[in-house]
Amino acid sequence: MTLDRVRELSDRWTVVVLALALIAVAYLVNRFAPERRKHIRRTVALFGFYVVTVVAAWLLSHDPGPWKARTAFLAALFEAFTGVSLVGLFIFDALLPRLRIQLASIISDISIGLAYIATSIAVASAAGWSLGSVIATSAVVSGILAISLQATLGNILGGVALQLDGSIHVGDWIQLENGRQGRVREIRWRHTLVETRDWATIVVPNSSLLAGNIMILGKREGQPLQYRMWVNFHVDFRYAPQRVVRVVEDALRSAPIPNVAGEPRPNCICMDFARDGKDSFALYSVRYFLTDLAVDDPTSSAVRERIYAALKRADIPLARPVQSVFVTHEDDEYAQRRNERHRLERIGTLKRLELFSSLTDEEREVLAERLIEAPFVAGETITRQGAIAHWLYILTNGQVEIRTRIESGPTRTVARLVAPSFFGEMGLMTGEQRAADVVAVTDVECFRLDKESFEKIVQERPEIAKEMSAMLARRRVELLAVREHMGAADKRNRESLEQEQILARIRDFFGLR
């Protein structure tokens, strides 16, 4: 068997072995690190070049000219490159991800690049090339490239520095010197890709990142990822700052808001009075910490909803610009029609409620005049178990859940109320503390009725107390039955007892004895 025949058989077996190795490594990468499967393309391309040069060498095996040796050299070079790429693919894209060892991508690129250089020199030496001439030629070429590609090399060195020192990582939110914000998607050799919230990608040269001052958002050593946000609003001078701050902070802290950190808690501050002596209102700001930097505007919108609803409940209107002029034709007549429409709506709401079924039309009209608007946004806690408040809520739009907390146990939902309905009646009629939490499931509109508004009616017609006590006892037992797992007979007995006790407390609370 001739030497050429042996080499031909050897090349064939090498092709088969490399093909099987490529299939095995590709399977491992797809299994343990599917996000890195794009790196398989480089190895497949090198293997393809190797196969082409092997075929070309076989076709030129009887050619007496120089192309036979040149093709054989290329085949050996691509064979070595394919082997290096396979080893790198196995180590950096299959083995290390399996062991959960994370390395900067630039480390694998440098390692494989150095291996290519070493194998190139080895193949050249085996082919009879002078090692000194190879190194000298490489140095001259490298010098020419360094002079002509200074900017590119600066970006490449910047990419190396960014990945090795770990100052910026993939996934970090950064703010560039021009004020643009975005999340780092990838740090490449020449540039870094930054994805913004408006669905755009900024290509930032690495040298610019190193030369400028880059702010990494929401990142502090030993602390969770969160970033402080500001929401501004204005209230005129008729309302004391301490009251505005208290109302807003209570609303923001009463129930969790999605993507708003619990610690540090949201807070409201009075920023200034009449800035530059021109404004007719005080400037307020709410500061909160955002936990998901991708949803800044939607979260700020949810915070504004809480602020608006809280101020509305407290009857604190947002400031209007002094230069605004509101013109309405037939102003008095329009106001009378609006007030009459609102009055009829409130009376109709009271008629539909079982609690007030025993009242006369005149008594409902009196109550309708005393109702106070109290809107809430979804997720807010309207009343808390154990709190003391002498008023009733009348639900006119939306849904709420009644949730009770048992000592050393979880919170349970015992009922869901859909408008029109009411809750908090025991606080109004007996003055006792709240028996459950009431949480807004949707945005809700409520009216609030306090004890003073109802007291005159009860004192003028005391028999109302007995009629209402029966209904209150029934609702009270329904709540207790969930907590204490009562049967039907127990519920009837308990309802009779509760009615007597509630009637006694109503009489004491309103001074009917």
Distance CA 372, CA 378 (A): 20
In sequence order, the 6+-apart residues with CB closer than 8 A to the CB of 248 are 268, 284, 286, 306, 307, 310, 311
Residues 370 and 505 reside in one and the same domain:
yes
Same domain, 372 and 397: yes
Q: What angle do CA 256, 385, 441 make, to 5 degrees?
A: 45
pLDDT for the residue 253: 92
Residue 479 tokens read as: 């709540």
Q: How buried is 258 (Cβ within 10 angstroms: 0-12 exposed, 13-18 middle, 19+ buried)? A: exposed
Instruction: Give CA–CA dist 181/202, Å, rounded.
Output: 10
Is 217:181 a contact under the CB 8 Å cutoff?
yes
Which own/partner pairs from 125-129 qualify as long-range (CB within 8 Å, at least 24 positions apart)? 126/76, 127/69, 127/73, 127/76
Q: Where residue 409 sits, what CATH number does that domain have?
A: 2.60.120.10
| 14-21, long-range: CB < 8 A, 24+ apart | 14/79, 15/50, 15/51, 15/54, 18/47, 18/50, 18/79, 18/82, 18/83, 18/86, 19/47, 21/86
Residues of the chain scoring pLDDT < 50: 1-3, 5-6, 140, 143-151, 324
* Domain membership flag for residue 330: no
| Alpha helix (H) residue ranges in 352-416 | 361-370
386 shares its domain with 498: yes
Q: Treating both helix axes as pointing N-terminal to C-terminal, what angle do 131-148 and 150-165 enclose, rounded to 10 degrees?
A: 100
Q: Is residue 339 part of a domain?
A: no
Q: Do residues 361 and 290 both lie within one domain?
A: no
Residue 1 has a pLDDT of 40
Here the tokens at position 397 are 């739009």
Q: What is the 3-state secondary structure (H, E, C) of 155-169?
A: HHHHHHHHHHHCCCC
Distance, in Å, from the CA atom of 365 to the CA atom of 347, rounded to the nearest integer, reads 6
Give the rounded distance of the alpha carbon of 430 from its chain centre.
43
Q: What angle do CA 397, 319, 448 make, to 5 degrees?
A: 30
CA distance 394 to 444: 10
Residues 494 and 443 in one domain: yes
* Edge-to-edge strand list for the sheet holding 227-236: 227-236, 281-290, 267-273
Q: Strand pairing partners for 205?
A: 191
Dihedral sign, Cα of residue 204, residue 205, residue 206, residue 208: negative
455 CB-contact burial (10 Å; exposed 0-12 / middle 13-18 / buried 19+): middle
Judge contact between 215 and 228, C-beta under 8 A.
no
CATH number of domain containing 204 = 2.30.30.60
Residue 438 within any structural domain of the chain: yes
What pLDDT, on the 0 to 100 scale, is given for residue 323?
Answer: 56
Asked whether residue 463 falls in the same domain as residue 404, the answer is yes
Domain end position, chosen among 217, 248, 275 = 217
Give residues with Cβ within 8 angstroms of 192, minimum separation 6.
159, 162, 168, 184, 186, 203, 204, 206, 209
User: CA-to-CA distance for 449 and 350, rounded, in angstroms?
Assistant: 11
Task: Look at residue 285 and give its three-state secondary structure.
Answer: strand
Pair (357, 489) in one structural domain = yes
Residue 443 lies in a domain: yes
pLDDT at 449: 87
pLDDT on residue 150: 46
Residue 113 lies in a domain: yes
Whether the Cβ atoms of residue 440 and residue 379 lie closer than 8 Å to each other: yes
Domain C-terminal end among 194, 217, 240: 217
Same domain, 504 and 363: yes
418/382 Cα distance (integer angstroms): 15
**Domain containing 374: what range?**
353-510
User: How many domains is the chain partitioned into structurally?
Assistant: 4
Cα–Cα nearest to 85, from 44, 126, 48, 28: 44
Burial class (CB in 10 A: 0-12, 13-18, 19+), 494: middle
First CA to last CA across the chain, in angstroms? 125
Residue appearing with tokens 């001439």: 133
* Whether residue 140 is found in the same domain as residue 183: no
Cα gap 202→89, rounded to integer Å: 29
Supply the DSSP string of 231-268, one letter for each residue.
Answer: EEEEEETTS-HHHHHHHHHHHHHHS--TTB-SSSPPEE
Share of the chain above pLDDT 90, in %: 21
Same domain, 425 and 505: yes
Q: Is 136 exposed, middle or buried (0-12, 13-18, 19+ CB in 10 A)?
A: exposed
290 and 395 together in one domain: no
- Non-local CB neighbours of 355 within 8 Å, separated by 6+ positions: 392, 422, 425, 468, 471
Q: Let me know if residue 318 belongs to a domain.
A: no
- Asked if 9 and 115 sit in the same domain, the reply is yes
In this structure, is residue 46 part of a structural domain? yes
Q: Is residue 160 part of a domain?
A: no
The CATH number of whichever domain residue 250 belongs to comes to 3.30.70.100
